[in-house]
Amino acid sequence: MKKIIKSLGKNKNLAKCLEHLYCKIPYLFGNGQAFNPLSVVLLVSYKCNLRCKMCFYYNDSEKDNTCNLIKNRANEELTLGQIYKLIDDASYMKVKILTIHGGEPLLYPDIFKISNYAYEKGLLVNFITNGALLSEKIAKKIVNAKINQITFSLDGPEAIHDNVRNVKGTFKRLMLGVKNLKNLEEKGYKIPNLCISTYISAINQNKIKDIIDVIKNIGIKDWGVGLITHNGEKLAIATSKILKINKNKNQGNLENLKDEVKNIDINILKKQREIVSTKNKKYQLEIIFPSKKAIENYYNPGFNEMDYCLLPWSRIVISPYGEVFPCINLSMIGCVLGNIKEKSLKDIWNSQRYINFRKKLKKNKLFPLCSKCCHINNLKKI
């Protein structure tokens, strides 16, 4: 039986179908309860070395709020011992994946202690990073830590990427970081699976067709592309009312993004999608890209590819301060469902608060703040 399960895991499409079924059954019949989570996302820190123009935390109108948040809550950050306890709980619940996110996780001083401990406890460890700090020394630590997958953020060829990331030289450092890992692979080391993530903005919309060439040239086969969400004050307030959350202002407001970032030309993007699709007939990469319908409805905040979300039945998000969120989008309005400093992951996961949240989500299908979430819309292979 173990051999059968292992062989099924190598088939990505079948694995996704099984995971979908694993979540959909309790969604339909669990009355708000869920099977154990498949993954835990740990936001180790909100600190970052870049100031990306479309970022929840560091766009021009939000960066001061984020820096103040980090300063004001410094004493509340999880200790290494508390993070180990979280990993112990996740291992006990047979969680499959620990995704380490931020901010920029490579800024966190004990990042490899965490990843090593998670690996020893049987979890697959994934990183999400901008790649700008991935020196030869860090690459060796990543390999030694047995990290399963790294997802790099790439927004275009050099000039475009540096523009979006707001720090000159970021593209070259990212390319060097990938090369450092590839060099270790050539020496016989087993390196993580390498993936690329891209968010489309008005800055890079003309260059999406060039990104596929960059990805092909650096030898990466997996690419996920998403649209900027419609996260803004109106949607946040509407969602807060549904969830009965009392908060004056949401964190991560994207409503004040500059036109150069958010004014996407739908016709340009549709054409870019066609070109990428044509190129990929030759390249044969694994690409997830917003559908034509999603692109055409970009300016309609009420449109989503699906009218339901299974993430709260499969994944849990932990803030640097131990707060438990159903997803990163809803963390922006303070949708806290518990704190791992106070209760175990197991006790929180099917607590009455979590159950009530799932019931409300199912009843409403989606919340206003879910608009353009990549987990609902970033679904189509090309």
**Closest Cα to residue 339, out of 326, 348, 331?**
348
Residue 3 has pLDDT above 50, yes or no: no
117, 57 contact by CB (below 8 A) = no
Q: What is the pLDDT of residue 4?
A: 42
Q: Could you tell me which residue, 160 or 14, shows the higher pLDDT?
A: 160
Percent of the chain with pLDDT over 70: 95
Q: What is the pLDDT of residue 246?
A: 85
Q: What is the pLDDT of residue 15?
A: 80
Distance, in Å, from the CA atom of 159 to the CA atom of 283, rounded to the nearest integer, reads: 24
For the chain, the distance separating the N- and C-terminal CA atoms, rounded to the nearest angstrom, is 34
Residue range 158-163: average pLDDT? 98
Residue 9 has pLDDT above 70, yes or no: no
pLDDT tens for 220-264 read 999 999 998 888 888 999 999 999 998 656 678 888 888 999 999
As given in the structure block, the two tokens for residue 15 are 């694995």
Q: What is the pLDDT of residue 96?
A: 96
Q: How large is the C-alpha radius of gyration of the chain? A: 20
Residue range 144-152: average pLDDT? 96
Comparing 154-168, 289-303, 313-327, 340-354, which segment has the lowest mean pLDDT?
289-303
User: CA dist 381 to 20, 114, 207, 227, 285, Å?
Assistant: 17, 33, 19, 15, 10
Distance, in Å, from the CA atom of 371 to the CA atom of 190, rounded to the nearest integer, reads: 39
The DSSP bridge partners found for residue 200 are 227
Residue 68 has pLDDT above 90, yes or no: yes
Residue range 61-86: average pLDDT? 96
Distance, in Å, from the CA atom of 157 to the CA atom of 26, rounded to the nearest integer, reads: 43
| Residue 89, helix vs strand vs coil | helix
Q: What is the pLDDT of residue 94?
A: 97
Which residues have C-beta within 8 Å of that of residue 302, sequence separation ≥ 6?
371
Q: Record the pTM.
A: 0.94
As given in the structure block, the two tokens for residue 265 are 């030309």
Mean residue pLDDT of the chain comes to: 93
The DSSP bridge partners found for residue 289 are 380
Distance, in Å, from the CA atom of 298 to the CA atom of 378, rounded to the nearest integer, reads: 12
Q: What is the pLDDT of residue 252?
A: 83
Q: Indicate the pLDDT class of residue 53, thresholds 50, 70 and 90.
A: very high
Which residues have C-beta within 8 Å of that of residue 79, sequence separation ≥ 6?
none
As given in the structure block, the two tokens for residue 206 are 């003309």
Q: What is the pLDDT of residue 7?
A: 47
Q: What is the pLDDT of residue 132?
A: 97
Q: What is the pLDDT of residue 10?
A: 59
Q: Indicate the pLDDT class of residue 2, thresholds 50, 70 and 90.
A: very low
Residue range 141-169: average pLDDT? 97
Query: Which residue type sits at 139?
Result: A
Which residues have C-beta within 8 Å of that of residue 65, sequence separation ≥ 6?
251
Residue corresponding to tokens 């590819």: 305
Residue 11 has pLDDT above 90, yes or no: no
Query: Which residue type sits at 258?
Result: K
SS3 per residue for 103-161: CCHHHCCCHHHHHHHHHHCCCEEEEEECCCCCCHHHHHHHHHCCCCEEEEECCCCHHHH
As given in the structure block, the two tokens for residue 190 are 């087993």
> Could you check whether the bond before residue 177 is cis, i.e. omega within 30 degrees of 0?
no
253, 232 contact by CB (below 8 A) = yes
The string over 276-302, giving b where at least 16 C-beta atoms fall within 10 Å of a residue's C-beta and e elsewhere, is beebbeeeebebbbbeeebbebbeebe
